[in-house]
Structure 1
Amino acid sequence: MHRYLSPSKYIDFEDANISAVARSLARGTTSEQDLVRRCFEFVRDEIRHSSDFKLNPVTCRASDVLRHKTGYCYAKSHLLAALLRANGVPAGLCYQRLSVGDSGAPYCLHGLNAVYLQDFGWYRIDARGNKPGVSAQFCPPVEVLAFPIREPQERDFPEIWAEPLPVVVEVLERYESYDHVLANLPDIELAA
């Protein structure tokens, strides 16, 4: 579990602002689930999704997401992992492969989290941000993610990564505006 509790370049919870917000969210919680719910809802509801709100700058590190209050799903997942790890709750990163449109190519990765809950084990949560047609919730043991898998080329990847995928970091660090990221969303080709 150590790697799911450790700080890193992108999940930089040793940052003073992240530590302060993590402590604030933990204050008055009565259970692990209460703490996780608060962290999840803070990132889901208070950090605006870059594409939904047409916001710059493009963020990647958790501390930058918090500072600018915006991020793509990937960056928001970095912040949620940082807040959870700062509070001693193991958290990792997960990905789905989804159609960018209603169906078919092109495809892109979607970033979300897995958190280790003492009562349930690994449980996935999606703090991308709700909007019409998207309603992710925290209600363990049932996962209520933002997007269902609907077609053969889409995937729920089962892995739980301690660090962001290089293809995700590369896109977030290469492009300087939300619309350039939107035009170049990261993807992983599926094996034949």
Structure 2
Amino acid sequence: MDDYLESSEYIDWKHPLVVNKAKELAESVNDEDIVKQCFEFVRDSIKHSWDYKLNPVTCKASDVLQYGTGYCYAKSHLLAALLRANHIPAGLCYQRLTIESDGPPYCLHGLNAVYLQQYGWYRVDARGNKAGVTAEFCPPQEKLAFPIVDSAEKDIPGIWATPLPQVVKALTENKSVELVYKNLPDYHS
């Protein structure tokens, strides 16, 4: 579990902004309540970059918090950081989804897995709700933003302690939300 509690370049939970926000969200002594508070904060208070066409492009958890915006991947970095700052193991998960409708092109979608004492690893998706997209925290049932509906879509197996390289590349090499959208990362097994 140690890997899912570490601070890293992009899940920089030791940054003062992240530490302070994590403390603020941890009003409960119950880990499950803390997870819900952190999840709802990221889902509802951090704007999805593409939905709102907001720059700058963020990747580090502290930048997502500072600027209040991030693509799904960056939002998952912030949620992992807030949970880890509260000593709750959290990792990154990915789905491969179609971008526009059924069929190609495809891209990765970033979400989280959190270790809940009562249930084990549980996936949550703090992407941000909007018309047609609803994600909730309701363990043990997962209510993710996007169901798998196309034959080439899939839940990518595994829980990562750090972001996938293609995700970091998309968020650090593209300087606007439009460029990220044109260069969304994909996963080929």
Please give the range of the TM-score, normalised by the shorter of the 2 chains: over 0.9
Instruction: Give the % identical residues.
Output: 62
**Which amino acid is the alignment partner of residue 11 of structure 2?**
I
- Counterparts of 1:85-104 in structure 2, within 5 Å, are 85-104=84-103
Task: Please state if 1:46 is matched with 2:12.
Answer: no
Could you list the per-position Cα deviations for residues 142-190 of structure 1 after superposition, in whole angstroms to 9, with x for gaps in the alignment? 0000000011110101200000000000010000100110111000124
Could you list the per-position Cα deviations for residues 99-150 of structure 1 after superposition, in whole angstroms to 9, with x for gaps in the alignment? 0011100000000000000000000000000000000000000000000001
Q: Work out the CA distance in 2 between the residues paired with 1:189 and 1:161.
A: 16
Aligned to 1:174: 173
- Counterparts of 1:19-58 in structure 2, within 5 Å, are 19-27=19-27, 29-58=28-57
RMSD over aligned CA atoms reads 0.6
Task: Please state if 1:10 is matched with 2:10.
Answer: yes
- Counterparts of 1:1-192 in structure 2, within 5 Å, are 1-27=1-27, 29-190=28-189
Please, what TM-score do these two structures have when normalized by structure 1? Answer: 0.97
SS across alignment from 1:119: coil
Q: Work out the CA distance in 2 between the residues paired with 1:119 and 1:146.
A: 23
**Which amino acid is the alignment partner of residue 74 of structure 1?**
Y
Q: Work out the CA distance in 2 between the residues paired with 1:59 and 1:118.
A: 31
Q: Work out the CA distance in 2 between the residues paired with 1:188 and 1:112.
A: 15
**Which amino acid is the alignment partner of residue 46 of structure 2?**
I
- Deviation at 1:30? 4.2
Structure 1's unaligned 5+ residue stretches are none
Q: Work out the CA distance in 1 between the residues paired with 2:121 and 2:6.
A: 17
Matched residue count: 189
Could you list the per-position Cα deviations for residues 62-85 of structure 1 after superposition, in whole angstroms to 9, with x for gaps in the alignment? 000000000000000000000000
Q: Work out the CA distance in 1 between the residues paired with 2:22 and 2:100.
A: 35
Please, what TM-score do these two structures have when normalized by structure 2? Answer: 0.99
SS across alignment from 2:133: coil
**Which amino acid is the alignment partner of residue 101 of structure 1?**
E
- Deviation at 1:90? 0.1
**Which amino acid is the alignment partner of residue 184 of structure 1?**
N
- Deviation at 1:32? 1.2
